[in-house]
Structure 1
Amino acid sequence: MDDLSPPLLLKRLDAARNMARFYGLSIEPSLFAGSALLRSWGRIGTKGRSRVVLYGDVEEARAALERLAAAKLKRGYRPA
């Protein structure tokens, strides 16, 4: 599991709509075989929410991370 990618932090700021959001993604080793994709999101300055999704291997988790990141980039999020 030494092939884990660094965490990805995305932000979406729009002062006209009073919008300041973050979305974080990271791949971590799980306690069992496989990898976990940690997702966190919310308003900047708050704790936000989080979710852990388990995958069989790091390649599956990385593909899910790339898919989620692409969707967020389409919605106006930018790397922090």
Structure 2
Amino acid sequence: MIAQPYQLYVERRDPPKNMARYYAMSIEPTLFGDACLIRRWGRIGTAGQQMSHHFEKEKEAVALFLELLRQKRAKGYRPSARLR
């Protein structure tokens, strides 16, 4: 069972380079009670791509969530001013 909700939506925009990307993550429970980290990314305004990672323990999912967050912040992704 997931102890608390983990959700993230960040964007990276650079108009001179015609760059407008988003990256979203959430940790959700599976039907069997395990933790699933769902990642979505792509160009803003498109469906983009999706990847799921399944873990037996929430702690493992949170560790990957935080590592991916650190990587995205280092690349310039920031929270959106708009609500999602």
- The residue that corresponds to 2:22 in the other structure is 22
TM (norm. structure 2) is 0.88
Kindly report structure 1 stretches of 4+ aligned residues shifted beyond 6 Å: none
1:24-65 CA distance string (max 9 Å, x none)? 000000122420000000000000000111011111111110
Name 2:71's counterpart in structure 1: 71
Name the CA distance, whole Å, in 1 between partners of 2:54 and 2:16: 37
Q: Which segments of 5 or more consecutive residues in structure 1 lack a partner in the other structure?
A: none
Structure 2 CA distance for partners of 1:33 and 1:2, relative to 1, 3 Å: closer
Aligned residue pairs, count:
80
TM-score of the superposed pair, with normalisation by structure 1: 0.93
Identity %: 41
**Matched AA of 2:36:** A
Which amino acid in structure 2 is aligned with residue 17 of structure 1? K
User: Over aligned residue pairs, what C-alpha RMSD do you find?
Assistant: 1.1
Distance of 1:64 and 1:36 partners within structure 2:
11
Aligned to 2:62: 62
For structure 2, the residue ranges without an aligned partner over 5 or more in a row are: none
